[in-house]
Amino acid sequence: MSSHTIQFRVRYPEVDQMGVVHHSHYFVYFEMARVEHLRSIGYSYADFEKQGILFAVVKLACTYKAPARYDDLIEVETTVTRVRAATIEHKYRVTKDGGKTLLAEAESTIACIDKNGELQQIPDFLLKEIGS
């Protein structure tokens, strides 16, 4: 299955009073990683939306291992772990120090839906790309 890694620095508004990234920001990081994973294989989420192909998060679970702090350079690795006709499952690893320090692990399931929120099949061209 395909995978992709993004890298960025923790921004000041993402940390709490203890100087630690607030747990809610990880969910934004996972979204960033999924969008960039699609871009890395040649697809734009915005283009999918124009075609009426939407992806909704239906499950997301995260386990925190160590804190990320302001100005840390972190990496989020996204791996497609399972593809079905209408859903895609991902795993995430959030690390710093060049992958030496594990910050969090997560799993998500996204469902392909139309503009009315009805489940639809993932287009064949995308299934071939992400399922390999």
Active site residue 16: yes
Residue 104 CA to residue 93 CA, distance in Å, equals 6
Residue 73 CA to residue 63 CA, distance in Å, equals 20
Exactly one of 16, 71, 97, 114 is catalytic; which is it? 16
Helix, strand, coil share (%) of the chain residues, nearest 5:
25, 45, 30
In this structure, are strands 3-9 and 54-64 parallel, antiparallel, or unpaired? unpaired
Neighbouring-strand partners of residue 59: 109
For 59, the enclosing helix (H) or strand (E) is: strand 54-64
Active site residues: 16
